[in-house]
């Protein structure tokens, strides 16, 4: 489930504090999240036991090539 637009989400507030304002946060509906974590590019899944609503977090990690 995607949270309603402009609805405060406590878990997202915590992620924002840790990740900082320059890291974009987006949302996926339930089945899009399932598809994303099943993708062959997924390298690691961690089950935290966080029971707050909308507390799942999918991090995309990339790299910056040396110039």
Task: Read off the pLDDT of each residue in 17-35 and give the average, rounded to a whole number.
Answer: 89
Helix ranges (H only) for the chain are 10-19, 30-38
Q: How many domains does the chain have?
A: 1
- The residue among 16 and 62 whose pLDDT is bigger is 16
More confident residue, 50 or 4: 50
pLDDT at 62: 80
Q: Supply the pTM of this predicted model.
A: 0.68
53: containing domain? 1-67
Closest CA to 24 of 57, 54, 66: 57
Count of alpha carbons within 13 angstroms of residue 51, beta-carbon side:
0
In this structure, the chain runs to a length of 67
Is residue 3 pLDDT above 80, yes or no? no
């Amino acid at each position: 489930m995607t949270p309603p637009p402009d609805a405060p989400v406590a878990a997202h507030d915590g992620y924002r504090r840790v990740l900082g304002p320059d890291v974009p946060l987006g949302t996926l509906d339930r089945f899009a999240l399932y598809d994303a974590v099943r993708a062959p590019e997924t390298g690691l899944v961690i089950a935290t036991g966080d029971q707050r609503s909308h507390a799942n977090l999918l991090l995309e990690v990339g790299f910056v090539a040396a110039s």
